[in-house]
Every structure is written in C-alpha cells, then in structure tokens.
Structure 1
C-alpha cells in the first residue's frame, strides 16, 4: 500500500475515484436511467428480450444484472457500477501512457480529463452504459498503439477483444471502433505490408465475435429508422455535439453566457491546438510522431459526429451528443499529448488553467445535479400527498415520467401514457403532473387544485394538481 501511495498518479486516481463514488449516494434518475433500473427487476430471459426490442446491445445490462443479483437493486450500487470503468480507464491510462510516451505529465493530464471533465463526471455516475463505452473504445486505442510499436500477439488478441466488447455495449461504438481499426490498419500497412495477415485475422475474429448479435442490431436500426423520438437535425443539435466533451448541462438545458465561457474556452483552445499541431506536422513533413498522433486522436470523435449528422440528414435523425462519449477518451488522450508539445510554459499553463476551470465548473454542476436537483423534495411530497388525499393514481403529459420515472419510484402508482386524457377511474382523485413548458389553462375548468411545483433530476420541471371526479376531454 505504501508503494502505491508513493506514486502521485495513484493518489490522483484514488482521489478522483472517491469523489466520483460520493456522487452516487442519491436516488435521482432521469427517464433512460429509470428504464435501466426497471428492467433489472425482470428475469434474465425477459430482460434480454426487452433489450432486443430497444436500441442497445446487452453487455452492460448483463453486467449490471449480475451486480444486482449479488447486491440487490439499490440505486447507489447500480450507479457505482458506472464508476468502475472510469477507475479502470484511469488506471490503464496511466500504465499505457507511461509505457508508450514515458511521461507522467501526459498520464496525469489524461487521468484528470477522463475523471473530472464535465461529461466524464456525468456519465461516470449515470445508470447507463456510456462509461463502459469509453473504457472499451479507449482501451482499443491504447492497444492499437502497442500493436504499432511492438506487434505482440497478446496485444492483438486484447485489441480484438476490446473491439468486440465495445460493439456489445452500444451500437454507435461499432462506428467508433471502425475509425480506430481503420487508423491502426492504415498505419500498419504504411509501416510494413506484412501486417496484412494480422489485419485480416483481427477483422474476421471481430466480425465472428459480434455475429450472434448482428442481426438483432440490424433489426434495432431498422426499427429506429421507422420510429424514433428525434425528428430533425438542426444547428442546436450540432452545437451540443461540439461542446459535449466540456459540457455538464442537463439534456435539454441551454447554456447562459457565464456557462458558455466555461464551455467555449476549452473548445476554442482545443481547436487552436489542432490548427497549430497540424501546421507543425505539415512543416515537419509528418515526421513528428507525437504531433501525428494528436491529429489522429481527433478523428474518431469528429468522424463519429459527422457520421451521425450525415446519417440524420440523409436517412433519419437517430444521433444525439451523448453517443459521442465512447470517443472522447481518445480525444482527451490527444489533448493531453498536444498540451505536452507546447514549448512555451506560459501557453502550456494557460491551457492547463482553462481545463481546470472547466473541471471546477463540471464539479459544481454535477454535485448540484446529483444532490440539489429537487428529486428528494418531490418524492417526499408524493409520499405525503398519497396519504393525505388517498390516491395513488398519476396522470402526466410528460412522456418519460409516465412510462419510466414514476413507475420506478412508486411501483404502486397507476400510470397512463401522456396521450390519454379520458380516465376510466374518474370517480377517484388523481394527481395530474403538468409540464411547466406546456399550456395548463385547460386545468382551470376542471376544479384542479395546484399542490406543488418541482422537478426530478433537474430534467423534468412540472406542477402537480389534484383533480376530483373530472373527466378529460
């Protein structure tokens, strides 16, 4: 233990890990997280069937089901399950970076970026698969570097395994891995044509490994092409993708000027860094290996972004900013290496300060999201109200509240789809949860009594009304 603590990078990893775990001890969930928690109540066969009908591969859910089976269905435990891959990523990042780049500075910057940048903090405690996605895809990138430098069989096997695991974690990870595979394969062929055999073997094993889920995945894609909640690709969508690595706002929140500064400065800095490194690389005729590496690290994230936008414009919008998460570990690795290339200490310090400010902003917003988000107040209100008014029936015009969030928090509630406005149970009181963004004037004619204004997870803001013996029309 003393040997571990002598290494400052180990202390940094432990500190960040403890901080992330402390963000998990709350009951706040948004719609997708609530759906994840709900299907953990199913038996294994039913869970796999439900996943197949959704839009995601099964690996994360299988791992989470094992944890739930061992430790019980506690939100805190399930959230910690999402911290584990971030801890692993920081640890293997330190190992591979010190081996490949021989630099504690690059390793330290990378650890801070994947542990404390706003998007990474957010996804590290979210009850979803995204922290596992970034682990597997970034692991592939590290192994690709090892294969290029040393060509060991062990690294080739692990590279193939990481690609398969990534594909089984999220469908868009397949696109992320295609970029990683392409970069490695082209680099190997440029280095020596003898690697063509390795390329074919890795490709074949990867395809065979994913084959059992391939047809289900294809069916899922066809289903979302026909029916998905996104309807267009607009400037706001693209802007959210561009700021995603540095953003900590809730899914539907628009940044104000103060927040935009914390998000915009690192985005500007990384853009300028790319331009400077590109110019340096061209001037050196692509002989600076570190500079070349930085440029390559930008490709998976921006390539995936372009794929999502073009697919949305030509076929059907199915891509949102958080789907980029699998690639930002590689992006942050390139950023860490790029900062190490800055020769002037004053400029290097400015870059570090900009990133630290973004991390502080992320810490503030993520602590607020997890512990000061209105969820506990709302749950306490419903616990008291259902006793006082002798009703357990809720109707809401907020889709995810009716289908996942409220059914998870209070399984004995009778919930209705947001499209239902005529109740068979009109002879008993109901709670009507009205979205604060929607017109609520129709409630005035229903003898509706406003009981509460609040939110869940800083995501759903609503007013709660009590309605007695009134039918919707």
Structure 2
C-alpha cells in the first residue's frame, strides 16, 4: 500500500471509531422528547406534534424503523442506540447520494478520503447520530439536489416528480429544510429560464411543492402563532447573529471565544478550495456548487430576517441539512485539489500548507469534541444505567425525581422511568425548561407518566 493509501485507510478507520463514541443511550432534552413521542400511536404522534414547533415526518419514520428493528426488546437503552444508528445510516445514504451526484458531473465523489473528511468535519457526527430530524432532512435535500441535477442532464419529467416528492418530505421533516428545498427549486427554475429550457415542468413542480404542504401548512401557521415572544430562542443581536452564521463550523464546546474563532478560521479555510474549484473543476460542477452555497446563505438569511422582523426563530443547527451538502462538496474539492498537487511543485507546496492547517484545525476540533462527548455523555451513561437499575428495585410504582437537576437529566429520567412502567413525580417543576412555549398539554401528552398535580 502506498503512503497516500495508508493515510487514507487510517483516516477512514479513525472516522469509523469516532462514530462509536456518539452511540450512547444518554439523552438531551429534545432527544428525550423524541423517544417519549415515538412510543405513542401514529395518530397520537401527529396530534401531539401539532402542538410542537416541528412537522411529524421524522417521528413517524423513526417509530416505523424502531418497530421493525427493536421489536424483540423492551430496553430503552437499546432502542436509543438503534435510533442513533438510524440517523447514522441515513447520513451514510446521504453520502452515497451526493457521491453519485458528483459522479454525474464527471467528478470523483464518495471515496474513502472524502468519507473521512466529511465525517470528521465539525457538527457532522454530532447531528449524524442525534435522535432528531436533522440527518433525515439532509438526506431528503441530497435526494432533491440529485433529482434536479438528473433533470438538468436529461430533461425527463420523472426526475421533477421525484424532486417534488423529496422536497415535500423535507418540508414535513423540518421547516427550514422546507426553506432550503424551496430555494433550490427557485434557483434551478432561474437557471432553466435563463437557458431557455422548457420550464413548464418546473413551474408545476413548484406549485405542487407548495400545494403538498398546504394540509400541514395550516397546522404550521398555528404552531408559529403559539410561539410566544419570550420563546427560549435568544433575541436578535450581533452576537446571536454571528453565532447562527458560524456555529455549525465548530464542535469545540469550550464555552470560550476560542470556539467562535475556530469556526471563523474554518470558514476562511473554505475560501481557498472554492477559488481553486472555479479555476480547476468542471463548469457544471461549479454551477451546482454555486447553487449549494447560495442555498446555504439564503436559508440562513431567511431565518435571520424572519427572526429580526417578527420573532427569534432561527438557530444555526436548523441550517445543518444544507450545511452537510456544502461540506460534502468542499471535501470533494479538497480531494481533487490534493490529487493535483502531485503534478506541480508550486501547487504541491501551497496545498501542503493548506492541508497542514486544515488537519491541525480538524484534529483540534475532533479532540475537543471527543473530550466533550466522553465527559458529557459516555461517562454519564453509567450513572444513568445505575439510576434506572435503582428505579427497578424500588417497590413503588411512582418515582420521585429531583427537580434541582438539569432539564436534560430530568427529561431523560422521565423517559427511562416510563420505559420500566413506572410513573415520575416531580415537585415544583417548570415545564418551560423543556418546552420554550410552556405547553402543558404537549408535555402531559408526550410525557404521560408524569403526575400532573405536582407540576406547576
């Protein structure tokens, strides 16, 4: 094996081992809500989720998946890990779909070095294993982009039909996935119009995309109206705007300005491969990549404008689905850039310096992220398992939960207590710590094992 092959192999192995540390049964509060919700019937999931601020498709798919893969066990520990595996599998599918999209543009995509680069990039592993809807939204956007590109190549209306379906499913997965999907459709419509293609199919597709969302759109309207002005998302200022723009570019979690600067440095390091791409990569690839970058920016701008004009509603992680696609193509460009460095000595030197800086930054990010993961989740898994074993040994059907713990700890203990068929009793607990809109009906519907009279 060549030196380059060995480096590729070990990076690939490291990326696989890295994922293992994210496969734990410890939950944060939004994940606890997910696991509480999917225990209900499909009808109840839709009814309960209509009181929340997200659409229901992910929860329905996850419940279906868990009913197939974990029918043999009642252990919530196992179910949570399988739920994380589900997100990881979906992310692998996204990688494959985007790799095929790159190959349709005569660009190498989906190899081992690109895999390692993508899965070691900031935020990717965090959301690729989270028991939330972000990984599924990224897959649906990847499929949408793939079908739009196929339509661009062949002009076959079947690709537009599939594109509309994937865009609609993305809308039923996350509202800002709907924003990203909508902007992608608009960008391609503008492209086809300028190139004087037959845009009739795309006009119909945009109409269908909007029409297919109408049934849930009515619910979505009331969900937005139910979000009070004091919703937990912080008010808009320069700090929150900057955070929402760069937060996806770091996993450091040091709670210092170092996180912010590391994210900004990584964003700056993305500029060099972008410039290189416009000079060296095929025009069709660069056009698609331009759409991806524009979509990433337009999604963030849309979220920030709505937050500024009406009420705070946007967080950096809501842009993760299109961020995932952006990072994939950045990694593809870097892979081609490094391959070309063996042909020219000057390029070799520049790319070596760039690669060294990038490796240092990514290694730092992975190191801090892994440390945070182990301390905040992996080690706490043992405490959680001890607590649940202790709850099983208590002869009473009702367990008292300490209200002075963090909301994350309280939420996950409620879910685990429910999994062993016991009720939770919490004194003087404020629901707004789990639901920013202080929705008592949603709380008691999802976490139906909590005694209602002891909660304010």
Partner of 1:396: helix, strand, or coil? coil
**What is the TM-score of this pair, normalised by structure 2?**
0.76
Q: How many Å apart are 1:161 and its aligned residue?
A: 1.8
Q: Which stretch has the larger CA shift, 224-233 or 154-163?
A: 224-233
Q: Residues 407 and 269 of structure 1: is their aligned pair in 2 closer, same or farther, counting only changes over 3 Å?
A: same
Verify the 8 A CA contact 1:13 1:87 in the aligned structure 2. no
Aligned to 2:384: 379
Partner of 1:163: helix, strand, or coil? helix
Aligned to 1:125: 129
Q: Residue by residue, what CA displacement relative to the aligned partner does 1:189-237 show, whole Å, maximum 9, x if unpaired?
A: 1111x42211122112222332332211222122225562124023332
Q: Residue by residue, what CA displacement relative to the aligned partner does 1:400-442 show, whole Å, maximum 9, x if unpaired?
A: 347623312334431245349xxxxxxxxxxxxxxxxxxxxxx
CA distance in 1, matches of 2:165, 2:363: 36
User: Structure with the greater relative contact order (CA < 8 A, sep ≥ 6): 1 or 2?
Assistant: 2
1:269 aligns with 2:273: no
CA distance in 1, matches of 2:9, 2:151: 29
Aligned to 1:316: 311
Partner of 1:100: helix, strand, or coil? coil
Partner of 2:50: helix, strand, or coil? helix
Partner of 2:401: helix, strand, or coil? strand
Aligned to 1:41: 39
CA distance in 2, matches of 1:212, 1:63: 19
CA distance in 2, matches of 1:131, 1:394: 32
1:220 aligns with 2:204: no
Aligned to 1:307: 302
Aligned to 1:415: 426
Q: Which stretch has the larger CA shift, 297-306 or 64-73?
A: 64-73
Determine which structure has the larger strand proportion and give its number: 1
Aligned to 1:30: 28
Verify the 8 A CA contact 2:170 2:177 in the aligned structure 1. yes
Q: Residues 19 and 417 of structure 1: is their aligned pair in 2 closer, same or farther, counting only changes over 3 Å?
A: farther
1:205 aligns with 2:208: yes
Aligned to 1:394: 401
Q: Residues 394 and 329 of structure 1: is their aligned pair in 2 closer, same or farther, counting only changes over 3 Å?
A: closer
Partner of 1:56: helix, strand, or coil? coil
Q: How many Å apart are 1:255 and its aligned residue?
A: 3.8
Verify the 8 A CA contact 2:269 2:358 in the aligned structure 1. no
Q: Residues 351 and 224 of structure 1: is their aligned pair in 2 closer, same or farther, counting only changes over 3 Å?
A: farther
Q: How many Å apart are 1:347 and its aligned residue?
A: 2.8
CA distance in 1, matches of 2:427, 2:382: 23
CA distance in 1, matches of 2:209, 2:138: 18
Please identify the structure whose Cα radius of gyration is greater: 1
Partner of 1:393: helix, strand, or coil? strand
Q: How many Å apart are 1:270 and its aligned residue?
A: 1.7
Aligned to 2:247: 244
Q: How many Å apart are 1:327 and its aligned residue?
A: 0.9
Q: Residues 59 and 369 of structure 1: is their aligned pair in 2 closer, same or farther, counting only changes over 3 Å?
A: farther
Aligned to 2:442: none
Partner of 1:248: helix, strand, or coil? coil
Aligned to 1:406: 413
Aligned to 2:343: none
Verify the 8 A CA contact 1:94 1:108 in the aligned structure 2. no
1:151 aligns with 2:162: no
Verify the 8 A CA contact 2:22 2:126 in the aligned structure 1. no
CA distance in 2, matches of 1:209, 1:18: 38
CA RMSD, 1 decimal: 3.7
Verify the 8 A CA contact 2:296 2:323 in the aligned structure 1. yes
Q: How many Å apart are 1:145 and its aligned residue?
A: 2.2
Q: Residues 190 and 171 of structure 1: is their aligned pair in 2 closer, same or farther, counting only changes over 3 Å?
A: same
1:190 aligns with 2:194: yes
Aligned to 1:83: 88
Verify the 8 A CA contact 1:230 1:318 in the aligned structure 2. yes
Q: How many Å apart are 1:382 and its aligned residue?
A: 4.2
Q: Which residues of structure 1 form unaligned runs of 5+?
A: 1-6, 421-473
Q: Residue by residue, what CA displacement relative to the aligned partner does 1:280-321 show, whole Å, maximum 9, x if unpaired?
A: 68xx9xx95544444332111221111122211110001111
Aligned to 1:138: 142
Q: How many Å apart are 1:21 and its aligned residue?
A: 5.6
Q: Residues 313 and 109 of structure 1: is their aligned pair in 2 closer, same or farther, counting only changes over 3 Å?
A: farther
Verify the 8 A CA contact 1:93 1:111 in the aligned structure 2. no
Q: Residues 215 and 118 of structure 1: is their aligned pair in 2 closer, same or farther, counting only changes over 3 Å?
A: same
Q: How many Å apart are 1:119 and its aligned residue?
A: 0.7
CA distance in 2, matches of 1:360, 1:45: 45
Partner of 1:118: helix, strand, or coil? coil
Number of residues paired by the alignment? 403
CA distance in 2, matches of 1:364, 1:163: 36
